[in-house]
Structure 1
Amino acid sequence: MITYWATTRGTYLNNQVSNLFKKIYIKLNFNLHNKTSNILAIDIVGSRVKQELFKIILLELEILILDITELDINVSDMEVLNKKILIDLINKSLLNFRQIFKLSNVSISVARLRSLVSYRRIASEHNLLLKNLLIYLVFGSSGDTTQTYLFPNNKVPVQHVEILLDNLIIQLADLIFYCLINSDSSILVLFRFLKTNKICRNTYVSARSIATFKNNLTWSNYLSYYFQRPRIIYNNRYRVWIFSTKGLHCQYIYAHRENDLEILSNFHIVIIVLLELQDFVLPKIQTIFLLIGKVLIYLVRYCITNSLKIVLKSIAIVTRNK
């Protein structure tokens, strides 16, 4: 039986929010290893550090919800302030994480932070990442008038809100550690602080292994931002990360993203045009190759059949002459 999210503010919505956060805290005791082929920045740290970082983000989100309720911010204000709220949530979570693990020796400038690919991607997807989730948690499903996910009559499944919350926590945690890995410090300083604070997994035992991980992570993020992201937007999809008993997984859900096409760069538009050409040209090429293959098979069979006939006739003639 499908359970739907509360439509308006009230005791029922408060209980659902409370139960949802309790469920997420329980999930943090599950396997937190990445079970996908996609590289995450938090893959370099152990489960204890991941768990602590997830808890920090959850706590900051709870405080944010209380502040929004206390300040009596409406849905219109949320739409205007959403990006600023997201950036503030990231900065506070990052600050608390650095204070808890005493990471003051690793500096991150604002300019450096904004130049990171992961930061730009999350900033460009702030509505999908945070706005809809906050509206569900604070105002109920009736507050969402964007029709981003096209649920009929405000019947938003509880599981959908849970997926959005999972996704926010994992993506913010990944961004925070991506910021730490791509700080202004050298690889040697990064290696020392990871080992000194005992937050690095045992598989990364040298500066070289950490440098390799950093390079692979950077390359993966560039591929995701410049090549995969246009395809996902063009297909009206949104990739979300979720907790499961077996580890961290990602999946794609439908999302109305036509407006995101307007903010894509010229390079992204070129990628979309190439996708269009691919969709148009590839079927034709496949048809041509299939036709050529059939012709070649027919010619080969024809040659083999005629050759066999000639050989059999020759054998028959030789036999008669003997």
Structure 2
Amino acid sequence: PQQPTTIFTSTRERLELSLENLTSIPLEIDIFREDKKRELLHLILQKIEDILADLRFSQVQSDRLPVMQAAILRDLWQETTIDFFGRYSTLLVGGITVDFVNSLLQAEIVVQTAILDKIPLVNDLFSYLLFATPLVIDNTSFAAESLEAKERAEIILQNLIIQVANAVVQPLLNQFAELEVIKQNYYDRRLISTREIERFRNNLSWKYRARTYFEEPRQVFESRYELLLLAPRGIAKVSIYAPRDRELTRLSGIPLIVTLALELRDAIAPRLQAVVSFVGKGVIFVLTQVVGKTIGLIGRGVLQGLGSSWQESKNKRL
């Protein structure tokens, strides 16, 4: 179909521009040199096209996509990891030859839980690409051939390839982050020292904790997703509306407490602001009307006193 072709073409064009991370959120791919980022993202985009071709050939029905989503993303991650690093590549670690790619693939459960399962709107994207299904944007349905649907699908696609790229890099950082051969072949030169690597990994670790306990509950409560996209100057972030009531009802523990705190703040803040505003106006009134007049009276008294003293002094001289 013409529309999906346009989406993939425009995304490929964006991949030739800067891939600098413009957000405040650390991404696993930040540690890669720009050429390696670009190579990885191009590969993922091609793999998605291959998966779409396989799904068309298999004549998968639209109602099967939600059930297949986890397997599709897992296959996408595995095939990308194998092709990017090399199926039969090995590493020498502590004098022992290690099957590099198989070691990375052992992190499947961690990657699936931390990243792949969190990627939003994948089913909507695949349904759009395979069956020209309309996309719902801000509670309005847009036909597949519309500009609005095309732009939204492109954002979802770009977020997908960036997040899958993060999923490919994550096991590398967890298992082989400080091997010199890895640094030489993949890393940005600004992030090759042990100190910088550890700082980078700590920032990533904090990101996932903050997302789990604070950011994700907040986004669920505010009915929105934050997606990454390829902007002209680099990787940027955009917030889009999406109904998430079902997820809200499943929150528990700290995430639930966060949403309750947000609700309490929303309830109290306007009233507290009104009280502060009222008190502030009262203070201003007291300062300008009462204190101001008092100071004025004192000032006039002082001036009158000075005038009387000057007159008395003048009379004495006479």
- Range class of TM-score, shorter chain: 0.7 to 0.9
- 1:70 aligns to 2:92 (yes or no): no
In the superposition, the TM-score normalised over structure 2's length comes to: 0.84
- 1:320 aligns to 2:313 (yes or no): no
The alignment partner of 1:37 has SS state of coil
Tell me the equivalent position of 2:113: 120
Deviation at 1:249, TM superposition (A): 0.8
In the superposition, the TM-score normalised over structure 1's length comes to: 0.83
Q: Mind listing any 5+ residue stretches in structure 1 that lack a counterpart?
A: 1-13
Tell me the equivalent position of 2:45: 58
Q: How does 1:1-322 map to 2 (within 5 A)?
A: 14-99=1-86, 102=89, 104-105=99-100, 107-108=103-104, 110=106, 112-115=107-110, 119-126=112-119, 128-142=120-134, 147=136, 150-152=139-141, 154=143, 157-183=149-175, 185=176, 190-197=178-185, 199-301=186-288, 302-320=290-308, 322=312
Q: Is the 8 A contact 1:191 1:207 kept in 2?
A: no
Q: Is the 8 A contact 2:116 2:163 kept in 1?
A: no
**CA distance in structure 2 between the partners assigned to 1:160 and 1:235 by the alignment:** 19
Deviation at 1:230, TM superposition (A): 1.0
Aligned residue type for 1:309: L
**CA distance in structure 2 between the partners assigned to 1:241 and 1:283 by the alignment:** 33
**CA distance in structure 2 between the partners assigned to 1:258 and 1:267 by the alignment:** 18
Q: Is the 8 A contact 1:35 1:248 kept in 2?
A: yes
Deviation at 1:108, TM superposition (A): 3.5
**CA distance in structure 1 between the partners assigned to 2:42 and 2:114 by the alignment:** 23
Larger radius of gyration: 2
Deviation at 1:153, TM superposition (A): 5.8
Deviation at 1:149, TM superposition (A): 5.4
Deviation at 1:170, TM superposition (A): 1.0
* Higher relative contact order (CA closer than 8 Å, sequence separation 6+): 1
Q: For the structure 1 residues 122 and 210, does the alpha-carbon distance in structure 2 shift closer, same or farther, using more than 3 Å as the test?
A: closer
Aligned residue type for 2:109: R
Q: For the structure 1 residues 193 and 267, does the alpha-carbon distance in structure 2 shift closer, same or farther, using more than 3 Å as the test?
A: farther
Deviation at 1:275, TM superposition (A): 0.4
Deviation at 1:257, TM superposition (A): 1.6
Q: Is the 8 A contact 1:148 1:257 kept in 2?
A: no
Q: Mind listing any 5+ residue stretches in structure 2 that lack a counterpart?
A: 91-98, 313-318
**CA distance in structure 1 between the partners assigned to 2:239 and 2:88 by the alignment:** 34
Q: For the structure 1 residues 148 and 230, does the alpha-carbon distance in structure 2 shift closer, same or farther, using more than 3 Å as the test?
A: farther
Q: Is the 8 A contact 1:236 1:254 kept in 2?
A: yes
Q: Is the 8 A contact 2:212 2:255 kept in 1?
A: no
Aligned residue type for 2:192: V
The alignment partner of 1:39 has SS state of coil
The alignment partner of 2:78 has SS state of helix
Q: For the structure 1 residues 25 and 109, does the alpha-carbon distance in structure 2 shift closer, same or farther, using more than 3 Å as the test?
A: closer
Deviation at 1:23, TM superposition (A): 2.2
Moved more, 63-72 or 173-182: 173-182
CA deviation string 1:59-86 (max 9, x = no partner): 2111111111111110111122212222
What RMSD, in angstroms, separates the aligned Cα atoms of the two structures? 2.4
In terms of fraction of residues, the more strand-rich structure is 2
Q: For the structure 1 residues 204 and 152, does the alpha-carbon distance in structure 2 shift closer, same or farther, using more than 3 Å as the test?
A: closer
**CA distance in structure 2 between the partners assigned to 1:233 and 1:82 by the alignment:** 21
Deviation at 1:101, TM superposition (A): 10
Aligned residue type for 1:114: I
**CA distance in structure 1 between the partners assigned to 2:199 and 2:30 by the alignment:** 13
**CA distance in structure 2 between the partners assigned to 1:105 and 1:208 by the alignment:** 24
